[in-house]
Amino acid sequence: MTGTPHGRLDRIEAAIEGINSTLEAIATDFLRPAFQQTVENRNSFVAVDQRLERVATVLADTTIKQDAIAAGVAANVSAIAANERRFENLLNELRADRTEHRQRCDEIQRKAEEDRKRADSDRAAQMQVIQSLLLELTRTNGNVNTMSSGVNALRDRVDTLEQAS
């Protein structure tokens, strides 16, 4: 190994320079893309984290809305059940009222029929009495022609009275 120490140092320095250049090339070719990928990954993670926070907020809001809807549904279910009970009660009352009304109508019709029969019977009895009175009047009076006009007048009068009543 010949040469000066100074020459050797120059070669060592040149070799170190070469190694440094190689290391810089390695860093540039391999480490820089890895570093850039790390930065991109970190940015992606930050973006994903922000999205997750928004999703969590939306989920919390949705949960609150679902709870409110569930409370509303429960209230509606209770109201529907109460309305169904009320409807059943009203329907039962209506059926009872209808039965009572039918009974009353039947009773009124029965009484009306009895009253009509009684009135017909009374009218027939009155007609018999009137006819008996007219016959007696005719016998008492003796004048058939005069009585005839009187009977007609009485009949007309009886008809008028019957129509008036």
Task: Tell me the per-residue pLDDT of 72-81, one tens digit each, with 9 for 90 and over.
Answer: 999 999 999 9
Helical segments of the chain, H only: 5-26, 32-141, 144-164
What is the Cα–Cα distance from 24 to 29, expressed in whole angstroms? 8
How many structural domains are present in the chain? 1
This prediction's pTM: 0.41
- What is the per-residue pLDDT across 82-128, written as a single tens digit (0 to 9) for each? 999 999 999 999 999 999 999 999 999 999 999 999 998 888 889 89
| Domain limits for position 130 | 5-164
